[in-house]
Chains A and B, each alone.
Chain A
């Protein structure tokens, strides 16, 4: 809040500002920065805002900032002067860098999570997760591994890891599954890749236009078509190496002026009111399965045998080299 300077001069203005600042804190505003599609009218945002405001008698404001990476950039640009109390929508590829900023506080919560991997992070708490997967038309005879894919004629649409979350997820997937052989896998895949798009929307749009046999997306993508469009013709290909996970998290800012409220929001986030909204708005798995279970249709999805996920520190450490392997292999 900017201080309204009165005629009495800056001292009086400062006093006014302090009083008004205190008043604002009493009114309990909670500002949550999140990615853009979360707050869109058909995302989870509107329902969750209403549900939380019922519970807290406060004013919850979502502020949208591009995607997860843009979200972190914005927090970094704003630094300690940020208005955010909570940031929702980072993933494990970003949490290391986010932690390094020193801007995040520990959440102090330990809910029971339904994640395929153990979760132990003092700063960030998951709200949903999913597996990356190649999505194809139901009738297509999809390969069952990266090696089989490389040897097949199947054409592929992927996203650029430098500008897209799934794109980076795929690089991490290959790295987590193949380690030092990742470069060779990419060289094998090079002739299958039709093109590399800047974001998920472009690749998925191209796939629906019939530009390729498969597109990098999530195992939950067919659920959207089945549930929202009553269209059972999309499927995800199970890969025997296992599937890399995306775990989406939230954290509270150390500089928040409403720490209790922020913590209350994080507590709400893993509760049933929040979690039951996630599957059919964000089209991801909820971090805590709600009491009524998953919506009908989710039972038709493939459940990978192995869940792959690099720890945030490890992901941050190998990212540069993994990216260079990817670039070198596909630039031939």
Chain B
């Protein structure tokens, strides 16, 4: 825990130390704080509100393609921003599918630019994540409880009130905070779709202070503000969330007698179709854009894919090593802090710390892997912690009485019980770190560029088609990583 605290706070401290202090916020900064809060709150609320019915539909329905859909749910979250934005624009942009469809009825094209566009993009990124987090919650309700409900003949409303609502009270606040915090430090999405300087976020103000005015003190101060906002959100969620109190079941699959009514089936089908269309259409456009570019990809892109794979696997191992000891309330708070610290400030601080001992180019890949692990940690913990707490509550006394402690508790009980969340968390980390550009600008090593960096370089060199090909490769690779790990969690 001290390690992660250090990894978050030391870089921040290094920047403050280097700056020799910090000033106070200007009127423009306050406007940025307000906009950041508004868009992050709206994005989090909307993502979770839409995710609840989608997760419920996935939890109580079995249909062909369900597994594939659940895997694809991991896709948007791991896409580099520019790829996702181009995919979204192909659907919701001025010349996108939706606008063309409206045109058929003589209606004007959609305008995606503005606060609503920012929120739309954030929902695209985070709705799937929220769905997975909440679906995980549904799967923790033991099958025995639903049987009990069925024997009592409880209607769907009562099942929701007695079984599902308490689960949501545990699962939703954490999901809200994780999404709120990641949207809080949004920069590229907010700017690209925000439509102009109205959509200035705190992260952009940090960017400006750092790059433009070289005012490290102000950059650090804004970063502390961002951290404080995230901390407040996390504290609030901790007050609202219920502790786990479900009790263990026997790992049986859950048939749902309460959900067999036709109109409920129709409702679930409609939700799933809507969510799937919202997520899959932009992805399909990314695939369509990327296919012609695959042939034009220079060989360096494949090399970059190799480096990204190595980074992804290293990040995954690191996240696992960090996630289990940190699976507590304090640990999760700490991990939230890690993503709330501006990536730019984090990168700068790490640079200041590492610069005297190592050449930045030489440590580029390890630093990328470490920072990616740190960025994935809150999501890994969000999935792992509730289940670890449930295992402790259900089997803690049995383990004690059998003398299963230390490594035996972990290897014989906790890890096997946590297979599913661990598979999801590692899959998410692997995919996220394959796709994340992270904080590596200062550490860039021209010889060992990762795939997203190579993709940006192709774009910067006008080679948009080849870049689209690289984006498709990135999407495929991230999804494959996610699928392999997530599957691993369902095996046996």
Contacts and interface: CB of A to CB of B under 8 A. Distances in A.
A293 interface: no
A23 interface: no
A202 interface: yes
A162 B207 contact: yes
Contacts of A81: 355-356
Interface stretch (B89-97, B225-233, B401-409): B89-97
Contact of B82 (A63, A83, A202): A202
A108 interface: no
A255 interface: no
Contacts of B198: 330-331
Interface in B57-97: 82, 85-86, 89-90, 93-95
Contacts of B459: 201, 204-205
Interface in B451-466: 453-454, 456-464
Contacts, number: 152
B462 A228 contact: yes
Interface string A81-99: 1010000000000000100
Interface of A: 36-37, 39-43, 45, 62-66, 69-70, 72-74, 76-78, 81, 83, 97, 155, 160, 162-163, 190, 193-198, 200-202, 204-206, 208-212, 221, 224-225, 228, 283, 326-327, 330-331
B188 interface: yes
Contact of A221 (B18, B351, B456, B462): B462
Given A77-B348, A97-B214, A83 B359 contact: yes
Interface stretch (B37-45, B169-177, B189-197, B391-399): B189-197
A317 to B, nearest CB: 14
A210 B94 contact: yes
Nearest to B440: A66
Contacts of A190: 196
Contacts of A162: 204, 207-208, 211-212
Contact of A42 (B82, B191, B298, B442): B298
Contact of A327 (B18, B192, B197, B214): B197
Given A65-B444, A204-B462, 18 more contacts: A36-B457, A37-B457, A41-B457, A42-B457, A64-B446, A73-B211, A162-B204, A196-B197, A202-B188, A204-B459, A205-B82, A209-B89, A210-B95, A211-B95, A225-B462, A228-B462, A283-B462, A331-B197
B191 A40 contact: no
Given A163-B191, A212-B94, A331-B197, A205 B442 contact: no
B442 A74 contact: yes
Nearest to B31: A331
A66 B442 contact: yes
Residue of A64, A212, A327 with most partner-chain B CB within 10 A: A64
B94 A211 contact: yes
Contacts of A225: 462
A64 B444 contact: yes
Contacts of A70: 211, 441-442
A101 to B, nearest CB: 9
A185 to B, nearest CB: 15
B28 interface: yes
A69 B113 contact: no
14 contacts: A63-B446, A65-B442, A77-B352, A78-B355, A81-B355, A97-B214, A194-B94, A196-B196, A204-B464, A206-B93, A211-B95, A212-B94, A326-B197, A331-B196
Contacts of A206: 86, 89, 93, 192
A45 B446 contact: yes
B278 interface: no
A263 B83 CA distance: 42
B351 A202 contact: no
Nearest to A97: B214
A278 to B, nearest CB: 13
A39 B445 CA distance: 10
B contact residues, range: 35 or more
B196 A37 contact: no
A72 B210 CA distance: 11
B204 A41 contact: no
B223 to A, nearest CB: 15
B187 interface: yes
A72 B213 CA distance: 11
B211 A69 contact: yes
B300 interface: yes
B125 to A, nearest CB: 16
A37 B455 CA distance: 11
B361 interface: yes
B93 A37 contact: no
Given A36-B444, A37-B460, A210-B94, A195 B193 contact: yes
B204 A163 contact: yes
Interface string B418-452: 00000000000000000000000110111001000
A76 B464 contact: no
Residue of A76, A78, A83, A206 with most partner-chain B CB within 10 A: A206
Contacts of A78: 355
B194 A195 contact: yes
A211 B463 contact: no
Nearest to A158: B196
Nearest to A62: B446
Given A65-B441, A70-B442, A194-B94, A327 B463 contact: no
Contact of B191 (A45, A62, A160): A160
A66 B361 CA distance: 13
Given A208-B464, A210-B95, A202 B28 contact: no
Nearest to B205: A162
A40 B214 CA distance: 26
Contacts of A205: 82, 86, 459, 464, 467
A258 B208 CA distance: 34
A159 to B, nearest CB: 9
B462 A224 contact: yes
